[in-house]
């Protein structure tokens, strides 16, 4: 089963990379990052949600697979 983790492929906190890997491993994290930026401009609460996710989602390197 796929678990949601922050990715090692990170630009800021790894949330978008982890979401891309969780949704579908074939999705490019850059596309998720771009969608996050666009949504952040349109919906002002998205950056707050991103910060909460960065604090709540465990880091990928903290777990053994």
* pLDDT of 36: 94
Q: What is the pTM of this model?
A: 0.79
d(CA 18, CA 5): 5
Q: What range defines the domain where residue 51 resides?
A: 15-59
Burial category of 4 from C-beta neighbours within 10 Å (exposed 0-12, middle 13-18, buried 19 and up): middle
Q: What one-character-per-residue DSSP string does 2-54 give?
A: ----B-SS-SSSSHHHHHHHHH-TTS-HHHHHHHHHHHHHH-TTHHHHHHHHH
* pLDDT of 56: 94
* pLDDT of 63: 57
Q: What is the pLDDT along the chain (65 residues), one digit of tens a residue?
A: 678 888 887 788 989 999 998 998 888 999 999 999 999 999 999 999 999 999 999 887 765 55
Number of domains within the chain: 1
The answer to whether residue 31 sits within a structural domain is: yes
3-state secondary structure of 58: coil
Residues in the chain: 65
The answer to whether residue 42 sits within a structural domain is: yes
């Amino acid at each position: 089963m796929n678990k949601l983790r922050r990715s090692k492929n990170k630009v800021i906190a790894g949330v978008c990379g982890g979401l891309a890997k969780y949704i579908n491993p074939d999705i490019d994290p850059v596309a998720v990052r771009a969608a996050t930026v666009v949504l952040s401009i349109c919906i002002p609460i998205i950056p707050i949600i991103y910060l909460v996710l960065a604090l709540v989602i465990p880091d990928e390197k903290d777990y053994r697979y």
